[in-house]
């Protein structure tokens, strides 16, 4: 299957993408991974992206699209893929359509993870990260440490990253509503969108997604 995964920040796209890609035996392709791979490998696209990022600017759509197309050209993506974070706006969505049309291919589904804005803010603003090791993460409600403010693993101080502050989350949501949400209507007009609730346990959401995708493929 060829799938695009959409949803607001905090919807659990990365987590669900990894599980779904494994269950469907297709590669999980995320924008973050594309940037990191191109930058670490020193590709011309990676160098261009890094220049913009160092200047505190957004990477232009053309560069992001070129990275995505290069990745989609690789052998493991020929039988299907799950895109996470791409396309992020209508320009990128139209570019993806053009790429697939040129290869006599098309998307099978656009999976929309729906979650209330209040829950997004709770999920992200409640995160706490260890100053000693950023891979040690907790949540004040969903995964609290044994001792408040102290990492269970190493005893380091837990803090709220600036990216996780409520103010920053609200700004990220504004960007999502302005730039990414419109592609849902774009894909609805093509009959591709399946919307599921992203509330509940991870396994429950994954099963909900698999059921929705199965119905779409039927």
The answer to whether residue 201 is catalytic is: no
The active-site residue out of 131, 161, 170, 188 is 161
The answer to whether residue 123 is catalytic is: no
The answer to whether residue 161 is catalytic is: yes
The active-site residue out of 2, 13, 71, 123 is 13
Please report where in the chains the tokens 């803010």 appear, as a residue.
Answer: 121
196 in Cβ contact with 111 (< 8 Å) = yes
How far is C-alpha 186 from the geometric centre of its chain's CA atoms? 18
The active-site residue out of 88, 123, 128, 208 is 88
Strand partners, 2: 81
The active-site residue out of 2, 71, 123, 127 is 127
The answer to whether residue 79 is catalytic is: no
Nearest to 68 by CA among 32, 25, 42: 32
The answer to whether residue 2 is catalytic is: no
Active site amino acids? 13, 88, 127, 161, 172
């Amino acid at each position: 299957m060829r799938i695009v995964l959409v949803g607001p920040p905090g919807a659990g796209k990365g987590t669900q993408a990894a599980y779904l890609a494994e269950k469907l035996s297709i590669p999980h392709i995320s924008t973050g991974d594309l940037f990191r791979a191109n930058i670490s490998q020193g590709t011309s696209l990676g160098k261009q992206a890094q220049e913009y990022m160092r200047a505190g600017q957004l990477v232009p759509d053309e560069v992001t699209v070129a990275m995505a197309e290069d990745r989609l050209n690789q052998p493991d993506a020929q039988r299907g893929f799950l895109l996470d974070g791409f396309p992020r706006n209508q320009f990128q969505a139209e570019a993806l359509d053009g790429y697939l049309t040129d290869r006599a291919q098309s998307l099978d589904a656009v999976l929309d993870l729906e979650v209330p804005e209040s829950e997004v803010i709770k999920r992200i603003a409640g995160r706490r990260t260890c100053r000693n090791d950023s891979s040690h993460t907790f949540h004040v409600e969903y995964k609290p440490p044994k001792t408040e403010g102290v990492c269970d693993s190493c005893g380091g101080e837990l803090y709220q990253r600036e990216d996780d502050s409520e103010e920053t989350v609200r700004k990220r949501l504004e960007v999502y509503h302005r730039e990414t949400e419109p592609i849902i209507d774009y894909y609805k007009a093509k009959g591709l969108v399946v919307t599921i609730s992203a509330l509940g346990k991870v396994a429950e959401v994954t099963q909900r997604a698999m059921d929705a995708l199965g119905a779409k493929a039927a």
